[in-house]
Structure 1
């Protein structure tokens, strides 16, 4: 009997360790769920997650972003607030990030090999630099940098 190494499982274990060491729950939980799925009867649902996981994640993220507005913790601005330079800049940054995201999806579809580099960079950013792998939060980070420069 030969020892066959499951490199994907090993990668997931490494990601779990990086998540724990980097104190990043999103990496730890995600890699743990995928490892459990891969190693159990849930493996049959991995193609579903591959196909719909990003959409499901965006829906959950959007719910999280809109919840403070719905709960009343964040008030909707009046019309005049939309003409403040920070608000106009936030709209522009939101548009630019959404445009970049659309181009990124196109790039990953046309050159899937680059996905490995993108995932590696995202994991490093999340595990060691306190990053979060989501678009709207990146837009908010860019916006905060731009506002801080003026």
Structure 2
């Protein structure tokens, strides 16, 4: 059996044991793609999968706005509340960190393996959600900046 298939099987089992349907499903999909020799689709997923995933994430977050179930006065009041202002700051900082992570991945793409392994450990042992490598890359960029600053 090829090494990649074994790794995917291990990821699927880790997903089942950690009760992470996202990890198990992703592993299953990739294994099916490998076994059915759909390499072209794997290349497309590698190039554009993150963008497609982020689009679906953004859609799921914005659905309440599309339903028109939100009272806009409440929306404005929540946004200018202390919690809303902290959410604005958090969103701005998170997108900045994601941008820094993207720069880091372009400069040193080998770091992605450590980020993926860290994400898997976070899913399995900390009950985390694999939201994306960009946030992991952003945090890594922050840690590296602090490491080089204190060095």
Select between 5-14 and 79-88 the one with higher mean Cα deviation. Answer: 79-88
Shift of 1:39: 1.2
Partners of 1:105 and 1:45 in 2: CA distance: 23
- Runs of 4+ deviating beyond 6 Å: none
* In the alignment, structure 1 residue 126 sits paired with structure 2 residue 120: no
- Give the number of aligned pairs: 132
1:116 to 113, 119, 142: 113
Q: Structure 1 15/74 Cα, relative in aligned 2: closer, same or farther at 3 Å?
A: farther
Shift of 1:24: 0.3
Q: Is 1:12–1:32's contact at 8 Å kept on the other side of the alignment?
A: yes
* In the alignment, structure 1 residue 6 sits paired with structure 2 residue 2: yes
Q: Could you tell me the TM-score, scaled by structure 2's length?
A: 0.80
Shift of 1:127: 2.4
* In the alignment, structure 1 residue 101 sits paired with structure 2 residue 98: yes
Shift of 1:75: 4.2
Q: Could you tell me the TM-score, scaled by structure 1's length?
A: 0.80
What is aligned with 1:81?
Answer: 78
Q: Which runs of 5+ in 2 are unaligned?
A: 136-151
